C-alpha cells in the first residue's frame, strides 16, 4: 500500500472547510463562471470573494481563464463536484440554507435572544438559557 501524505490531505480539507469557499465551489459546480456571476449568485462582496478565490486557487481547487478584462473560474479538481455532493448528502434534511435569514424571535424566544446580546447575561451560560420567565 502506497504511503499517503495525510498533511497534504488535511491542507486540502482546510481549504474546503470554510462556509464562504463552499458557497463559491457550489456556484462553480455546474459551470465556469465570471467573477461577477459568482458575486451575484453568492452575495459575497468583491473584496472577500477575491480573497477566498485566491485561497481556492492556491489549493489548486479552481482554475482561471481570462477573456479581456473578465476572469472566469471553474472547478479544477475533477472529482470535487462529487465531494461537494457527498458533503451535501451529509447535511440533515432539515438544515436551512446558509443564505436564509432567521425568523424573528417571539415571546420567550425574544427574551432569550435579548439575553444572548446582553454581555452581562451572556456570561450566565446555560443557567440563563434555562431560566423560566413569566
Domain boundaries, the chain: 7-90, 105-134
| Percentage, residues of the chain above pLDDT 90 | 43
- Per DSSP, the residues of 15-63 read HH-SHHHHHHHHHHSSS-EEHHHHHHHH---HHHHHHHHHHHHHTTSEE
Q: What is the mean pLDDT of the chain?
A: 77
Predicted confidence band at 8 (pLDDT cuts at 50, 70, 90)?
A: confident
pLDDT at 1: 52
**SS3 of residue 126 by DSSP:** helix
Average pLDDT, integer, range 7-28: 91
Maximum mean pLDDT: which of 2-6, 11-15, 100-104: 11-15
In tens, the pLDDT along 46-105 reads 999 999 999 999 999 999 999 999 999 999 987 888 888 888 888 887 655 555 444 444
pLDDT at 95: 57
pTM of the prediction? Answer: 0.63
Q: Report domain 7-90's class.
A: mainly alpha
**Would the pLDDT of 129 be above 80?**
no
Read off the C-alpha cell for 9: 490531505
Amino acid at each position: 500500500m502506497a504511503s499517503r501524505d495525510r498533511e497534504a490531505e488535511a491542507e486540502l480539507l482546510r481549504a474546503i472547510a470554510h462556509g464562504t469557499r463552499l458557497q463559491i465551489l457550489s456556484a462553480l459546480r455546474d459551470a465556469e463562471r465570471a467573477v461577477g456571476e459568482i458575486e451575484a449568485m453568492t452575495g459575497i462582496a468583491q473584496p472577500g470573494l477575491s480573497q477566498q478565490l485566491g485561497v481556492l486557487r492556491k489549493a489548486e481547487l479552481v482554475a482561471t481563464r481570462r477573456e479581456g478584462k473578465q476572469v472566469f473560474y471553474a472547478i479544477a479538481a475533477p472529482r470535487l463536484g462529487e465531494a461537494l455532493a457527498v458533503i451535501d448528502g451529509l447535511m440533515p434534511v432539515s438544515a436551512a440554507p446558509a443564505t436564509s435569514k432567521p425568523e424573528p424571535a417571539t415571546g420567550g424566544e425574544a427574551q432569550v435572544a435579548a439575553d444572548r446580546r446582553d454581555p452581562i447575561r451572556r456570561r450566565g451560560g446555560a443557567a440563563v438559557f434555562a431560566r423560566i420567565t413569566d
